[in-house]
Structure 1
Amino acid sequence: MRTVRSVLVDSPAGDLRIGSREVADPGHAEVRVTVEACGVCHTDSQFVNDQLPGIVFPVTPGHEIAGRIESVGPGVVNWQVGDRVAVGWSGGHCTHCNPCRRGDFVHCENAQVPGWAYPGGYAESIVVPANALARIPATLSAVEAAPLACAGVTVFNGLRRTGARPGDLVAVIGLGGLGHLAVQFAARMGFDTVVVARGQEKEKLAADLGSRHYIDSTREDVSAELLKLGGARVVLATAGNSDAMAAALDGLGPHGELIVIGIDAAPMKITPLQLILQSKTVHGHPSGVAMDTEDTLAFAAMTGIRPIVEEVPLEQASEAYRRMMDNQARFRIVLTTGA
C-alpha cells in the first residue's frame, strides 16, 4: 500500500481537487502503474457528473493513461517492472460474461473502465488489470501515447474495421480532438481523405495533416461535394453533431458506411429510403481493447502520427478539465505528473 497524489471529485458535478488516495499492492492478474501522463477526455464528465450506473465517489477520472509498470501481482505473465504501458477506455474485461466468452472483449458486460470501475489516471499511480495493458513503442513519449489510448484507438480501429481500401474516398467530419487524429490515420492508411469542417480557416491544417480535399460545411452542400468526388466509401463522424452526421449520408456511394463516434443526444434525421436504395449503413463504433490500442500505438510510431497536445501539470487538473469541457482546448490536454 502506498499513498499518492490524486485528483478527487467528492460528489456528483463537484469540483476537482488535489488530494491523496491509497493505492494497494496489485492483486492477482493486476499491475501497479506509475502514471506519467493522462489525457483529459470529454467522456470524463460522465463519471464526474454521475451519469453512469454504479459510480462511487470520490471519483478519480482518467482513461487515457501512459506510464510504466512499478510492481506486478501474482498470476501476471509477459509483463515486468519497468515496461512502458498505456491503458485506455477498455481498462480490463471479466473473461466470463457471454461477450467475453465469444472473444468480444470490447463489449464485456462488466467492463472495467478507469475512473468508473476503479480509480483513474488523474493520479501518480494506479492499479489496473493486466489485460488492460498496451505496450508503448520507444519512439512515442508518454504525453504522445496517452491520447492515442482512447481518441487514437477509437478512430484507428473505426477506420480499419470498415470496408474501405487504399485509394477509396474517406471523409472525416470534424477537425477537433478526434478528427485531427482521424485525418492522419486515414491519410497514412492510403485513403483519399476529405475533411468536412466549419469555416475556411481550418483548410490549411487539414492539408497539413494529410487531407487531399476540404469541404466547408457552412458554405457548401456536404453530400453534393462528396458526390462530385465520386461518393465516399466511408464517412467517419467525429464531431458530436447529429445534423452534421445526417447531412453527409447522401454523399456516400453504394455500400457506403457512416461510422458514428461523435456523441450527441439529439436524434439523426435519416429516412429508410436513404439507406435502402444504395445499401448504405450507419453504425456506432466503440474504442477498442488493449491489443487494438497496442496496434494503434505501433501504427502511429511507424507512420509519424502524433496528437496535437497541450501539457498541463496534475496540480492544474481542475482548470484543464474545465477548459476541455467548455471546448476551449482545440485538440487534446494531457496532464503530467513529473514522474
Structure 2
Amino acid sequence: MTSKTMKAVHVPAVGQALELMSVPVPEPDNEQVRIKVEACGVCHGEAKIVDGWASSYPRIPGHEVVGVIDSVGAGVEGWQPGQRVGVGWHAGHGETTGMTIDGGYAEYMTAYQGSVVAIPDGISPEEAAPILCAGETVFSALKNSKSRIGDVVAVSGIGGLGHLAVQYAAKAGYEVVAISRGADKADLARDLGAHHYIDAAADDVAERLTELGGATVIIATAPHADVINPLLGGLATGGELVLAAVSDDPIGWSALDFLGGQATVKGTFTEADSMADAIKFSVLTGTRPVIEVFPLEKAPEAYDKMMAATVHFRAVLKVS
C-alpha cells in the first residue's frame, strides 16, 4: 500500500459544501487502473452528491475526467501506464463515477477498465473533459435520433449542453435552428454554426419552427418547463423532441397535444459506448466546448459558479 497523499476536493457529508483535503493516493483494485488526473469537468450532477444521493460520505465528485494511466491492477487487459484516457458517468461494475465511487476532483483516481476510453491527440485535457458527459449527451441525442442530413434540427437553450449541440448538428449536416431568450445570443448562435435563431422572449417558437417546415428533431437543453412546453408544437409530423435537460418540474402536456402530429418525446443520457465516438467526432470536426478553467483548489468556486449559471459555458478543473 502506498503512503503517499494527494490533494482532493470532497463532499464531507450530506448538505455540506465542497472541501479541499489531503487524502491517501488510491491503489487500483482488480480490473482497475489508476489515473493521474489532468482535468475534470464540473457538472450539475455534482449537486446530487451534495443533496445526499452518494452511496457514502465523504465522497470525491467528478465524472468528466481526463488523465494518464500511471498504474494498473491485477486482471487489467489492454491498458497500460502512459496511455491517455477519459472516464465518464458510467464507472462499470454497476458503479457511478463520483457518486458511488470517488471521481476526478483529485490528483489521482481509480477506475474499472471497462469504464475507460482512449483520448486521442489533438484535443487538450480541459477541452476533452466536458465532452465525456455534456458533449456525449447531446451527441448521442443526435446520433440516435431519426434526423437525416439536411433535416431541420432545433436546439433549445444555448448553454453548457446547447452550445455543443449546435456545433454537432451543424457539422453533421443539419439545418440548425438555435433557440434562446433574448437577441443577445443571436450572433453567438450563428458563430457556433446555427442557420437560424429564434428569440423565445419575442417570438412564438412553435410558429417560427412551423414556418421552416417544422423540426424533425428538437433537443431541449434548457431545464425549465415553460421553455420546454411550447416546443412540441414546432415539430414536423412524426418529429422527435429529445429531453436532454434535467428538471423535476411537470411539463404540462395533455393527451390533446399529441393527437395532431404523431410526435415522439424521449429522453437521452450519457452512454458509455458513445463517449469515444463523441471525442473522435469532436477531434475530426474541430468541435470544442467553451470553457472556464479553475485550479483544483478553487473547485468550490467553480461549483458555485456552475450552480449559479454564471460560467461561460462549462467549468473545468485543471488538476495537473
Please say whether Structure 1 and Structure 2 have the same fold, judged by a TM-score greater than 0.5: yes
For residues 45-56 of structure 1, the aligned pairs below 5 Å read 45-50=47-52, 52=53, 55-56=55-56
Query: Which of 34, 37, 40 is residue 36 of structure 2 equivalent to?
Result: 34
2:309 corresponds in structure 1 to: 327
1:103 corresponds in structure 2 to: none
2:258 is aligned with 1:284: no
* Contact 2:243 2:265 (C-alpha < 8 Å) held by counterparts: yes
Query: Which of 282, 288, 300 is residue 318 of structure 1 equivalent to?
Result: 300
- How far, CA to CA, are the matches of 2:196 and 2:207 in structure 1? 14
- How far, CA to CA, are the matches of 2:265 and 2:225 in structure 1? 12
- How far, CA to CA, are the matches of 2:29 and 2:61 in structure 1? 21
2:116 is aligned with 1:116: no
1:220-265 CA-to-partner distances (Å, cap 9, x unmatched) read 0000000000000000001101121111101101110000010111
Shift of 1:318: 0.9
1:177 corresponds in structure 2 to: 160
1:3-32 CA-to-partner distances (Å, cap 9, x unmatched) read 211002212121212112223321211100
Instruction: Tell me how large the CA RMSD over aligned residues is.
Output: 1.1
- How far, CA to CA, are the matches of 1:78 and 1:63 in structure 2? 22
Task: Please tell me the residue identity of whatever aligns with 2:136.
Answer: V
Show structure 1 runs of 4+ deviating over 3 A. none
* Contact 1:48 1:59 (C-alpha < 8 Å) held by counterparts: no
- How far, CA to CA, are the matches of 1:39 and 1:91 in structure 2? 16
- How far, CA to CA, are the matches of 1:191 and 1:164 in structure 2? 8
Query: Which of 15, 26, 35 is residue 17 of structure 2 equivalent to?
Result: 15
* Contact 1:152 1:182 (C-alpha < 8 Å) held by counterparts: yes
2:157 is aligned with 1:155: no
2:64 corresponds in structure 1 to: 64
- How far, CA to CA, are the matches of 1:149 and 1:240 in structure 2? 20
- How far, CA to CA, are the matches of 1:57 and 1:293 in structure 2? 28
Shift of 1:276: 2.9
Task: Please tell me the residue identity of whatever aligns with 2:105.
Answer: Y
- How far, CA to CA, are the matches of 1:24 and 1:226 in structure 2? 52
State the SS of the aligned residue for 1:247: helix
- How far, CA to CA, are the matches of 1:239 and 1:266 in structure 2? 12
For residues 207-286 of structure 1, the aligned pairs below 5 Å read 207-286=190-269
Identity of aligned residues (%): 42
1:104 corresponds in structure 2 to: none
TM-score, reference length from structure 1? 0.92
For residues 116-135 of structure 1, the aligned pairs below 5 Å read 116-135=99-118
1:85 corresponds in structure 2 to: 85
- How far, CA to CA, are the matches of 2:275 and 2:68 in structure 1? 16
- How far, CA to CA, are the matches of 2:171 and 2:117 in structure 1? 21
1:6 corresponds in structure 2 to: 8
Task: Please tell me the residue identity of whatever aligns with 1:18.
Answer: L
Shift of 1:91: 2.0
- How far, CA to CA, are the matches of 1:227 and 1:67 in structure 2? 45
- How far, CA to CA, are the matches of 1:23 and 1:129 in structure 2? 16
- How far, CA to CA, are the matches of 1:319 and 1:65 in structure 2? 19
Query: Which of 43, 61, 66 is residue 45 of structure 2 equivalent to?
Result: 43
1:101 corresponds in structure 2 to: none
Query: Which of 175, 186, 194 is residue 177 of structure 2 equivalent to?
Result: 194
Task: Please tell me the residue identity of whatever aligns with 1:127.
Answer: T
1:78-114 CA-to-partner distances (Å, cap 9, x unmatched) read 111111111111122x3xxxxxxxxxxxxxxx3x211
- How far, CA to CA, are the matches of 1:246 and 1:15 in structure 2? 34
State the SS of the aligned residue for 1:235: strand
Counting matched residue pairs gives 318
* Contact 1:23 1:127 (C-alpha < 8 Å) held by counterparts: no
Task: Please tell me the residue identity of whatever aligns with 1:190.
Answer: G
- How far, CA to CA, are the matches of 2:291 and 2:32 in structure 1? 30
State the SS of the aligned residue for 1:86: strand
* Contact 2:64 2:130 (C-alpha < 8 Å) held by counterparts: yes
2:124 is aligned with 1:145: no
Shift of 1:277: 2.4
